[in-house]
Amino acid sequence: MKLFFKILGSLLLLIVLIVGSFLAKVQITGIPSYKTQKVDLKVEVTPERVARGKAISSMLCRQCHLDQATGKLTGHRLEDLPNDFGTAYSRNITNDPEHGIGSWTDGEIAYLLRTGIKRNGHYAPPWMVKLPRIADEDIYSIIAYLRSDDSAVQASSIPSRESEPSFLAKFLCHVAFKPFAYPDHEIKVPDIHDKVAYGKYVVQDGIGCFACHSASFKTMDENHPEKSQGYLGGGNGMPGMDGKIIYTANLTPDPTGIGNWNEDDFVKSIREGIRPDGRPLRYPMSRLPELGDDEARAIYAYLKTVPPIHNDVERNFPDLSGAALSDGKEIYHKYGCIACHGETGVGLGDLTRSKIDFPTDSSLMAWIKNPPSFKPMTKMPPFNGIIQDAEYVPLMAYVRQLSDARK
């Protein structure tokens, strides 16, 4: 019996040493590197591809890579990344040859987007969107846009800042988040007239709605999206610009999801940013005007086919009844402006520029009421009919205060 316990103790010690050595390796080596594969690809840049690529990039890349200070995709700190993953900064992806991707080949860009492996072999952290199953033509369109003369991707020499991944992020990159294989076959865009098939493509492969709207980033299955825990049932906690956790919506056809929404309700919500109850969408979700009407209806058609999940997600909507009509800061909080613009006014849009961009109160009010009428692709939803008339003056006064704080 003593011999048994001696052997058992030795085995346990060996296991502890192996596990300890592995964990030490994870901490020291960080996010792993991999062997790269040369992809022979030269994308023809056409106006059609640039337009399509800009639309896709606006939904997938712009929110993370656009720096409000530069107006370009030069990267910034990702404030909405869950703290569990550490401190993250998106990269400069402008055409600058030194600090951006100007010296990258089309094949290197495609390989990174598909697999998650950079040209130096480093694995892109889990917060970077990977597109292993997106159609070839959509990949070509993204590359065409990145090569275009659009102001957002024009060369900027601002260096990228290095991320500081947590131990959890490093660990997950060793055991769970792995590079994808580069496709060995052509991937085609489904026929948009087959609504369910096309909607499934957008949700799983095109813009990847399932990643945010399933239970957790930690348990999503990027290789088999439908096997993700709580697939499309929402409840994934994501910080807003104000640091408060906002839980993603349930998109399944359960009554706690979109079961009581009709097709027009859904299309208005996703393209205009206004829910059926009249509330605007809340960051990190924003309106997607880049989606065509037929694409939005295809998404709805697919979502109606997924298994319903009863998950009454606590959405933490602002209280629309308690704010004093004369208190601009309370109104700013009341309508969720803080979720997108943060406490200082600098977030998805820079409110500290209000005196420059909107020199008169009438121009600022017109913008708040209906931003898409001035800038069709803006992420800001129209607030006409939502914000009370008496609230505009104090709200604008508070926005002007944020602008004064810029000096």
Average pLDDT of the chain?
88
Best-predicted range by mean pLDDT among 21-35, 134-148, 158-172?
A: 134-148
List, for residues 150-162, the tens digit of each pLDDT value. Answer: 999 999 999 999 8
Scanning 33-102, the segments in alpha helix (DSSP H) are 47-60, 62-65
53 within 8 A of 143, measured Cβ to Cβ: yes
Please name the CATH architecture into which domain 195-303 falls.
Orthogonal Bundle (1.10)
Residue type, position 232, single letter: L
Lowest pLDDT segment from 78-87, 358-367, 369-378: 78-87
Residue 22: CB partners within 8 Å, gap ≥ 6?
Answer: none
Determine what percent of the chain is predicted with pLDDT higher than 70: 89
- Same topology, domains 195-303 and 328-404? Answer is yes
Mean pLDDT of all residues in 32-39: 92
pLDDT in tens, 314-348: 876 666 565 566 789 988 888 888 877 878 887 77
**Percent residues over pLDDT 90 in the chain:** 54
- Quick: pLDDT tens for 256-270: 999 999 999 999 999
Q: Which pLDDT score, from 0 to 100, does residue 174 have?
A: 81
At which residue do the structure tokens 């076959």 appear?
Answer: 185
pLDDT confidence band for 54 (50 / 70 / 90): very high
Is residue 45 within 8 A of residue 147, CB to CB? The reply is: yes
Reduced to 3 states, what is the DSSP secondary structure of residue 202? helix
Determine the 3-state secondary structure of 320 from DSSP: coil
For 176-212, how does the pLDDT look when each residue is reduced to its tens digit (9 = 90+)?
788 999 999 999 999 999 999 999 999 999 999 999 9
Q: Give the 3-state secondary structure percentages of the chain, helix then strand then coil, rounded to 5.
A: 45, 5, 50
Asked if 285 and 231 count as a contact pair (C-beta separation under 8 A), the reply is no
pLDDT value at 242 more than 80: no
Domain ranges in the chain are 47-175, 195-303, 328-404
Torsion on CA atoms 285, 141, 176, 21, rounded to nearest 10: -120
How much is the pLDDT for 362? Answer: 94
pLDDT at 52: 95
**Residues 285, 249 contacting (CB under 8 angstroms):** yes
CA distances from 184 to 132, 139, 180 (A): 11, 15, 12
In the chain, the amino acid numbered 267 is V
Task: Return the structure tokens found at 13.
Answer: 């010690």
Instruction: Assign 71 a pLDDT band (cuts: 50, 70, 90).
Output: confident
Measured over the CA atoms of residue 257, residue 262, residue 263 and residue 264, the dihedral's sign is negative
399: left (phi over 0), alpha (psi -120 to 50) or beta: alpha
Per-residue confidence (pLDDT) for residue 324, from 0 to 100: 61
- Tell me yes or no: is domain 328-404 CATH 1.10.760: yes
For 271-283, what is each residue's pLDDT tens digit? 988 888 888 887 7
Q: Which pLDDT band, with edges at 50, 70 and 90, does 94 fall under?
A: very high
Q: Which residue has the higher pLDDT, 313 or 172?
A: 313
Helices then strands, counting H and E runs in the chain, come out as 15, 4
Average pLDDT estimate for 77-83: 76
Amino acid letter, residue 296: A
User: Which of 130, 55, 54, 76 lies closest to 348 in space, CA to CA?
Assistant: 76
